[in-house]
Structure 1
Amino acid sequence: MTTTIKTSLASAAAALAIIASANATTVYTSSNDAGGNRILVYETQGAGALVARGAVDTGGLGNGGGLGSQGALTLSDNGRILLAVNAGSDSVTTFRVTRKRLQRVGVYPSGGEMPTSIAVKGDLVYVLNAGGSGNVSGFRLEANGVLEPIASSTRPLSSNAAAAAQVGFNRNGDALLVTERATNNIRTFRVEEDGLLAAPVDNASNGGTPFGFEFDRRDTLLVSEAFGGAAGQAALSTYDLDPENFRLEAITGSAGTNQTAACWVIISENGRFAYLTNTGSGTVTGYSLRRDGTARRLDDSGVTGTTGGNPLDGDIKANTLFVLSPRIGQIVSFNVGPNGALTPGAIGAGVSTSAAGLVAW
């Protein structure tokens, strides 16, 4: 089936009409341009093609540089709502998503300065505001994509200079976590029934500069560690989250990538593998995930795949790993093999050098 669009990358509007083939994967990233943030839309097509399909204005501004975060874009649990941060205008934009259309719903104050990461669980949304003194702020997400702020939901970070990297929920949604790079801290909150957060619990990171994280199918926490960008020192740690006191206990402690500045974490669809993008090395490191929560590097060298540039955010859909590498203006993809090996796939061009965030659906 052919694909028709009513806008282009050079002429973005508040909506993008797409007639996507039934088996296509749609990939979203944000331009993060200081003059106007846009959602850039790509689609897999045919054998090995990743085609630019257009762009939609967020109605907000990017910051024109890196966000230093995981989760600048995220989808609701049902995939029907896309949420994006506007770091340069202290706002969040929501979009309705269908196979035929991406439609902007609204632009909402983020509850703080320089929003960089968004977490969604059901109708509960928390935004990480990394600027100023830093905080997380809560919202309710309506079925139509409207965001409503939750009164008295804003909570501070552990320091006014925490350099927080990500906010996220565990799998059942009763815990919210924030990684703080500058303090080497992982802050956990119990989520109350009304969506408010209980008193924070601060956990020392096993390794330096905790950054991106994901929970696997068994609710084991995987956290990347950039170690301040020290050459060859990046690592992955896994943790158990105590459901009573919300403290973290390390399972695998700083399993090295042998690469530099591991920042983003992506877990395979079958839950057997995790991949870290190494921003300082232009590579991806894969790990096998065990039932006991341990992780083991797939390749002795730490190089499971090579992206070039500065790989940032990633996502996996239909056994394809998509990785944003804005320095070279590309979305790079890999086919994920049954043993976790990565085979180079399609490349999508035309990405802004300031781009941030990536989701595939």
Structure 2
Amino acid sequence: MAIGVAAGVSVGTVISPYAGAALADDAAGPSYLLVGGTGSSNIGVLRESGGRLIPVGQPVPTDTGTLSITVTPNGRFAYVAHTVSGTLQGFRVGDDGTLERLEGAHLAPGRPIVGAVVSPDGKWLFATVGSVTNDVQTYAIAPSGALTHVDSVTIPGATSGLSIPVVSPDGRFLFAPSFIGATMDSYAIGFDGRLTPTGSQVPTGDRPALPSVTPNGKFLYITNEGTDDVSGYRIAPDGALNPIGRFPTKAIPHGMAITPDGRYLYLPQTGGQSVNGFEIRDDGALVPVPGAEAPSAPGHLPGRVVLSPDAQRLYVIDTLTTTGTAKVFTYRVKPNGGLEATAELPVDTGVTFSDGATGVFASLGPA
């Protein structure tokens, strides 16, 4: 992996054509889908309203090689990690969907920043930094969105790189996979944001990419791009991971979404050019859901799925497409877990090659 140098790119506020109407039909505050352009060095902003996605202005320029976007629980701050430029940049999310660079929220350690995740209480940002091997660095998030370094731990192993971590819904544990080393490590998160290893390192399938934890905190799943399956783990009370099985998929499974009730899991299969749904059984086993297979449109390779804020729709984001820029396709989620295509036309994000954890909702709460 090339180690980039920090690049200074000036980004101002993006003017939205929908400014002034942001709260008109969103009583709980507007929601915006942020889609990162790994290849195009920008972020597409799409407003979600009434089951429709509407582009907000032009895509926002960023640094290079985005693999992660994470937002604070109130949706007011977004942090974008870049592997090529070796930087992380924070943005303030305006009521109208504008993104404005944050002072005091720009990291430039001189090494790739691969993954980034914010704790559920909004106090901490955890970033994985490095190339062949990764450190997990903790940063305190100030009320202004500024970042202050707190601590750093090294993920064990000679090839612990390309790690995109996830935090448990209760904020007690962080789980860090190694895409290169095919392993997963667990850490307890202290009251001060410091990480302490817990449990033993566990194996995954080949090229584990993007982990997710069920809302009740019982199970963790990760897609294995190299072995075309999903590894499942039961999370022990101390955060240790106990393997419960490997569940086959089609080709190159990628970024998944789990429903808020923890009953269903959806994932795109980039090589299989489709999206598939699975029921999560009480023991953590994944069983395909009849009627939850959605073939991709010709020329579109899905890379990530994201549930709408009300979990009634599944948005499928291209990772690659023959049309040049990534599109988002909309499906209705049925009560039985099935998927149904809607009449909504695909929406252009304005970004190219959206890879990694680069599709996330910012649902705005009080400032």
Please report how far the alpha carbon of residue 146 of structure 1 lies from its aligned counterpart in structure 2 after TM superposition: 1.3
SS state at 1:164 partner: coil
**Which stretch has the larger CA shift, 266-275 or 194-203?**
194-203
- Tell whether 2:57 aligns with 1:39: no
Relative to structure 1, is the Cα distance of residues 310 and 101 closer, same or farther in structure 2, using a 3 angstrom cutoff?
closer
Name the CA distance, whole Å, in 2 between partners of 1:111 and 1:191.
23
Change (3 A) 1:190 1:78: same
* In 2, Cα distance between equivalents of 1:41 and 1:238: 32
**How far does residue 340 in structure 1 lie from its aligned partner after superposition?**
1.2
* Whole-angstrom CA distance in 1 between matches of 2:107 and 2:91: 15
For 1:352, the equivalent position in structure 2 comes to 351
Alignment match, 2:78 = 82
| Match in the other structure for 2:236 | 242
Q: Alignment partner for residue 180 of structure 1, among 157, 178, 181?
A: 178
* Alpha-carbon separation, structure 2, partners of 1:89 and 1:297: 40
Runs of 4+ in 1 over 6 A off after TM superposition: none
- Check the 8 A contact 2:290/2:338 in 1, yes or no: no
For residue 294 of structure 1, the aligned residue among 269, 273, 285 is 285
- RMSD value over aligned CA atoms? 2.7
Tell me the TM-score normalized by structure 1. Answer: 0.82
Alignment of 1:112-127 (within 5 A): 113-121=111-119, 122=121, 123-127=123-127
Query: How far did 1:12 drift?
Result: 6.9
Tell me whether 1:280 sits opposite 2:279 in the alignment: no
Superposed displacement of residue 298, structure 1: 1.0
Residue number among 327, 338, 344 corresponding to 1:341 in the alignment:
338
Moved more, 337-346 or 168-177: 337-346
Do structure 1's residue 320 and structure 2's residue 313 form an aligned pair? yes
Amino acid at match of 2:177: T
Within 1, Cα distance between the matches of 2:158 and 2:109?
Answer: 16
State the Cα distance separating 1:31 from its structure 2 match.
2.2
Q: Secondary structure at the match of 2:320?
A: helix
Q: Does 1:30 align with 2:36?
A: yes
Preserved CA contact (<8 Å) 1:221 1:241? yes
Query: 1:106-154: per-residue Cα shift (whole Å, max 9, x none)?
Result: 341154622222111121110122525322111011222111111xx12
Measured after TM superposition, the shift of residue 76 of structure 1 is 0.9
Correspondences of 1:152-191 after superposition (within 5 Å):
153-191=151-189
Q: Could you tell me which residue of structure 1 aligns to residue 4 of structure 2?
A: none
Write the mapping of 1:6-17 to structure 2, written as runs, cut at 5 A: 13-17=12-16
Residue 51 of structure 1 deviates from its aligned partner by 2.6
| TM-score (norm: length of structure 2) | 0.80
What do residues 179-238 of structure 1 show as CA deviations (whole Å, max 9, x unaligned)?
11222210111112211111364432353332211111221233233251x5xxx22232
**Which ranges of structure 1 fall in alignment gaps of 5 or more residues?**
1-10
5+ residue gaps, structure 2: 1-9
Matches of 1:341 and 1:325, distance apart in 2: 21
Distance 1:306 1:176 in 2: 33
Cα pair 1:260 1:279 within 8 Å, conserved: yes
- Which deviations, in whole Å up to 9, do the C-alpha atoms of 1:59-80 show, x marking residues without a partner? x4213xxx6x5xx112112222
Cα gap change, 1:227 to 1:49, in 2 (>3 Å): closer
Say if 2:293 and 2:339, in contact at 8 Å, map to a contact too.
Answer: no
